[in-house]
Structure formats: C-alpha cells, structure tokens
Amino acid sequence: MSAPRHVIRDRIDSFPTHQIDGYGVRPGHALPFGATFVPGGVNFSVYSRGAEAVSLVLFRRGERDPMAELPFPDEFRVGGVWSMTVFDLEYEDVEYGYRIQGPAQPRVGDRFDATKILADPYARSMSGRAVWGVEPDWDDQYMYRSRLTFDDFDWEGDQPVRIPVEDLVVYELHVRGFTRDPSSGVDQPGTYAGLAEKIPYLKALGVNCVELMPVFEFDEFENGRLNPETGERLYNYWGYSTVGFFAPKAGYAATGRFGMQCDEFKNLVKQLHAADIAVVLDVVFNHTAEGNEHGPTIHFRGLDNRTYYMLTAEGYYYNFSGTGNTFNCNNPVVRDFVLSCLRYWAGEYHIDGFRFDLASILDRGPDGAPLTNPPLPEALAYDPLLKDCLLIAEAWDAGGLYEVGNFSNSRHWSEWNGKYRDTLRRFLKGDQGTVGELATRMVGSPDLYRHRGALASVNFVTAHDGFTLADLFSFNDKHNEANGEGNRDGGNDNNSWNCGAEGPTDDQDVLALRAGSSATRCCCCCSARESRCCWPATRSAAPSWATTTATATTARCRGSTGTWSTATPICCGSCATASRSGPRTRCCGPAASRAATTWPARRAPT
C-alpha cells in the first residue's frame, strides 16, 4: 500500500515549545477534555475551576512510583481548563493522573488535596482492577489509573440496530453472572467474550435487545467484606457505583489483563448487532463511587467538588441516591460531561440505548429541589447524536421523588413502569380490588401516558432489584441475611406470595401453582398494550424465570455460585410473539416448577 499523498508534515504544533522534567511539551488544545492523540504526542486537557496549580503525573504501566510529574505552566491554562501536549510518550506503556492544588475548605465545598493523584474523568481505559476479584495493592498511592487507548476498532460496516420500540423484547442481564457458571459451557466464562458465545441462545428465546447491568469501570472491592457467618467474600457485584464513565469494566474482559477490554466489548456489540440484537446500557449518573465525606478521593472530589456534587450550605453531600453523594447533573459542566459520555458510547461503541438508574435525580437542581424544566433530560432527548438511541428512565430516586408518568414531556423518553409492576404483583397474589387498575395497566396506562402514548411505558414485573420471578412466587418475605447486613437491606414491599410454602419445597401442588403463576405473569407482561416486556434477568443476573438461590436475597454484593445463571428460562410462548420483528422461534425450556436448572447441554458438532 502506498503512503497517502497529502499527509501534512512538520506542522508547527508537532514540535515542543518547552521542556519539563525531560519531556518536550507545548500548550495544548482545551477541547476535547481527556487524553487525545495528536501529531507526535498526546493532548491532555482537564477542567478545574478552583485549582491553583495542576500537574500531570506519569507512570510506567504497573510501577508504583511515578516516572515523571509535569506541572502545567500557567500560560497553558485557559479559563478553568488546563491543557498540555506531551511528546514522545510510549502510548501503550503509560498510565497517567493529575495532582491538583487548591483550597481545602470543606465548609464551603472545596476538598482539594494535593497528596492525592486523581484519575481523569474522561479516561477511556483504566487499570487497577483488570482481573475480577484479584486483591489489589492496598498501599498503592494511585488505585485507579487512567490509560491511553486507540479508537481503531474495525467495525466492518456495523450500524446500531434500529428496531421499532413496539417490537422490542428487552432482556436484562449481568455480564459476569450470565456465563460464569460452568454449566454455561462457554470458553471464557464471566466475560464479554463469554456472553458473545451465548448469542444463539438469546436468539432462540426471541430476545432482540439486551440491557446490560453496569459495564462502566467500577471497583468490585468497594465496601468489600467477609460475611461474618459464612466467610464468603462479598463484593460490589452489580456495579452501580461508577469509577470510570468512559471506560468499559476491564474485569469483565477475558483480555482485561492485557488492556484489551475496549476491543473485546466492541466485538461483543458487533456480534450482537450481527444477530439483530440491540444493546442498551444501564448507566449510573445519580452518584459516583466517591461516596460521602468519608469516601475515597478518586477524581471529581479533588478536581472541583462544588461543581460535580450537590452540597448543603454547610458543605456536606446531599444524598438523594442512598449511596452518600448526588451528582450535580444540571450544573452546565456536569451536564456537558454526561452528554459527552453518552455521545462517546453511542458513537464509539455503537450503543443503541441507555437505561438511567434513579433517573429522577436528573430532574433535581443544585439544591436538590425538583426543577420544572430540567435541562439535562431535555438536552439528551434532543441531542443530534443520540437521536436514535433509546432513553429509558427509572423514574424515581432514593430521596422520595417518584415521577412515573411525569419524568419528561418528550416522547423520546420512556420509563420503567413501576405501577405496572406493583399492580400485576398484587393481582397475582390475590389482593382484592386490583382488577380495575390492572385493566388500566394492560391497556397502556393511559392515566400516566395519555399525552406521550403507551410506548412511553416499559412494562416489567421483576428486575435486578429484589426478588427474581421464581422467588416472587416462593417467598412471602425477603431473606437478605446472606448479604451480611442483618436483613436490613432491600425493600419490604415486594408483594410476593409463596403459594403455600415458604422457600424450597417438594410439595407438587405448590410447585404447580408457582409454575402457573409465573406463566401467567409472563403472559400478562407480553400481552399488555404496546409493552416492551423487560425480561428481568436477575437479581443474580441469571435468567430469572425459574432461578432461585432458595434465599430470596437481593444479590447486589454476592458474586458467587448461588448468584450466577444456572437456569434455562421456561416458556409461555409469548415472547417470540411479542418480538414481532424478531425470530418466530418459541423459547423452550424446563418447567417453571424447577427451582434451579442448568444451561442446556452443548451439542456436539455435526
């Protein structure tokens, strides 16, 4: 292949203007934020409104001590943005972070700490948790390291799957739990590659959209501990606590130890698209992994605490997320961060849509009060790059703001219909006086979505929060003892019914009743008007039709055998029908009365 004829050589910005700590540098480009390849070097740009000085800290990959620390000259700052181009870096062997100097005055919201090295919020790849469950070096001064990555994946013409919303059959799953059990029969269990191997199985179910529980980089050791009774290691298994918003979870990649998680995840998306299966990501912008005043300083807290978090007048964190802090989503800087993040995943990863965890926080102002016309949901709805992306809101938060039916006026937004879930559950367990409301839910909840249409409703009965479908008809009460918190965690309003026996039983009448109730639920979910039935994969990430761990637990912190997928979904015959644009394959599996079954045996090649 001959060289391009019009390569621009010896551009003036290809040469350094300064030498700092042995590296040639020059004033950088303020935008885009993050680390970007430019001719001959890398452009680093970071925002901090209150910083007094900023340094770029460079590490050789895997080494504990920095190899260089490059202060940004003051003339490299424009407004609150510090940018610098660094030349002659070994791209694949470099990790980087920032050291920020500024006032430490928590009462007014400033928590700068120059003893900390901060991750880049825009980092497209991160190291530090490259292999799931491998104990990190707790003495490392820089735990979550930003890395450089190339966006040179060969998509071979792939395009997002544009399935009409009324034809979607959405299947929620946990990347690790879905194939981690040996019965999945995949070569790379618990990984993006392992999930790709199960695409034929998803097709056979009639699924045409997968909703992946969080895949942004998170720390499975956050709040890690041992169960005092069993000694079981407890993790942040679900991942609803983001560390790196632009970086895929390395511990979900078979190639994560080699830093190839970006390509492995892109390959998963490409293969799902080739099978006409759309990909929706469960994203968490209501809070970050930095927690409250006692949490770690990872990035935002040390970059510009007052900008990124909702703070009280005394400088404490508002906690509308139930996790210690609340992301200040309607601050213009934070709003741009969220937009940039979603544009990146839609553009670079070909993602088809996003489900927003505790989305009502996106409607709150800096003081926590709900806004009449919040700018972020509107900006997302009308963003040119997100035009074809699904936007699904979990329209409530932990601060009591419940907006099902009222989250947004835009038809671009749809909502998890919590009222459909609650009504159907109460009806199926025999509560009196539920028939009228059930009828309303079955015809598209016109009382909630009269002006936006029934397509705004995503109907579901179970999801990752709370009971699986099998447990919904096996227990009257929650039993979260295995989470090591004395059964205090998790909701108590599950509207479940044990069908006559609490937990596992050999009583055939009870088992038959449970099977029938599960099938009835499936039929109701599929036959509701214009619904997109959300096949809840799990508390455990398992396909939950018939899955139970016989404990009725919410498995948010348990990444062990009992929470992995070991079940084959039962079939009511409705899901393939609901997927009118998908395959007409009827999903077949063992009876619902089986509390837990195994993946189908792999066929020998013929």
Instruction: Classify strands 170-173 and 534-535 as parallel, antiparallel or unpaired.
Output: parallel
Q: What is the 3-state secondary structure (H, E, C) of 42-62?
A: EEEEEECCCCCEEEEEEEECC
- 166 in active site: no
- 197 in active site: no
The DSSP-derived string for 423-489 is HHHHHHTT-TT-HHHHHHHHTT-HHHHTTT-GGGEE--S--SSS--HHHHTT-SS---GGGTSTT-S
Task: Give dist(CA 562, CA 550) in Å, integer.
Answer: 9
Residue 96, classified by CB atoms within 10 Å of its CB into exposed (0-12), middle (13-18) or buried (19+), is buried
Task: Give dist(CA 525, CA 527) in Å, integer.
Answer: 6
Q: Provide the CB-side half-sphere exposure for 496 (13 A, CA).
A: 27
Write down how long the chain is.
606
Question: Pick the catalytic residue: 120, 181, 282, 357?
Answer: 357
Q: Which two tokens stand for residue 581?
A: 């644009």
DSSP 3-state assignment of 104? strand
Closest CA to 425 of 438, 436, 416: 438
Instruction: Classify strands 353-356 and 209-212 as parallel, antiparallel or unpaired.
Output: unpaired
Instruction: Classify strands 18-20 and 110-111 as parallel, antiparallel or unpaired.
Output: unpaired
Element (H, E) at 280: strand 278-283
CA angle 432, 434, 438 (to 5 degrees): 155
Question: Pick the catalytic residue: 219, 394, 397, 422?
Answer: 394
Q: Which residues are catalytic?
A: 357, 394
